[in-house]
């Protein structure tokens, strides 16, 4: 069985306000990734600082903290083969004006300050970010779905 990873994905406040939640979820679902956690919430200042701690001190940090709290987000945990990298491919580059056509950021965003979606960049940040937004008892992994079908009988 191929090794499956988990990643933290969020529809950022601009994505929620623009009605892009379904569109974004659809792109990960149809790929074959498995949705194992989802909730809508207002990010607290503490959550924002934990989430984006690596950017503290950068010029854009205060605006980033303000942006992620500018409305509710839809926080999700997705599971699947190579999902951390695969989700970032589906999302596209941080800068939407440089992102590949067909990616979420290229298709739905103009500037990096409002790039509609977040995705973890490593296993370490995935587990750290999941723990900021979810308790393990809010994660529902006990069901069969497309993710099992699309990698059945494939060797690593």
Rule CB under 6 A: which residues touch ligand IDP? 60, 64, 94, 112-113, 115, 118, 121
Question: Which does residue 94 touch among Mg ion, ligand IDP, none (CB within 5 to 8 A, set by kind)?
Answer: ligand IDP
Contacts of 61 (CB under 8 A, 6+ apart): 52, 55
User: What are the structure tokens assigned to 5, written together?
Assistant: 């990873």
Rank residues 121 and 138 by Cβ distance to Mg ion and give the closer one. 121
| CA–CA distance, 87 with 24 (Å, rounded to integer) | 11
* C-alpha closest to that of 6 among 115, 119, 93, 154: 119
Stretch that binds Mg ion, among 7-15, 63-71, 121-129, 131-139 (CB under 5 A): 121-129
Residue ranges in 79-108 that form contacts with Mg ion under rule CB under 5 A: none
Question: Which does residue 143 touch among ligand IDP, Mg ion, none (CB within 5 to 8 A, set by kind)?
Answer: none
Report, in Å, the least distance between residue 112 CB and ligand IDP: 5
3-state secondary structure of 69: coil
Stretch that binds Mg ion, among 68-76, 96-104, 113-121, 143-151 (CB under 5 A): 113-121
Catalytic positions: 118
| CA–CA distance, 9 with 75 (Å, rounded to integer) | 6
């Amino acid at each position: 069985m191929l090794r499956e990873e988990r990643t933290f994905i969020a529809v950022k406040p601009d994505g929620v306000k623009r009605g892009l939640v379904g569109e974004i979820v659809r792109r990960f679902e149809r790929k074959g990734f498995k949705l194992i956690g989802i909730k809508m919430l207002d990010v607290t200042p503490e959550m924002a600082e934990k989430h984006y701690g690596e950017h503290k001190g950068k010029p854009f940090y205060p605006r980033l903290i303000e942006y992620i709290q500018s409305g509710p987000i839809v926080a999700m945990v997705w599971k699947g083969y190579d999902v951390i990298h695969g989700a970032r491919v589906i999302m596209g580059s941080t800068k939407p004006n440089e992102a590949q056509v067909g990616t979420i950021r290229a298709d739905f965003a103009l500037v990096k300050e409002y790039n509609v979606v977040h995705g973890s960049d490593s296993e370490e940040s995935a587990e750290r970010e999941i723990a900021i937004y979810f308790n393990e008892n809010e994660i529902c992994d006990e069901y069969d779905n497309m993710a099992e079908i699309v990698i059945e009988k494939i060797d690593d």
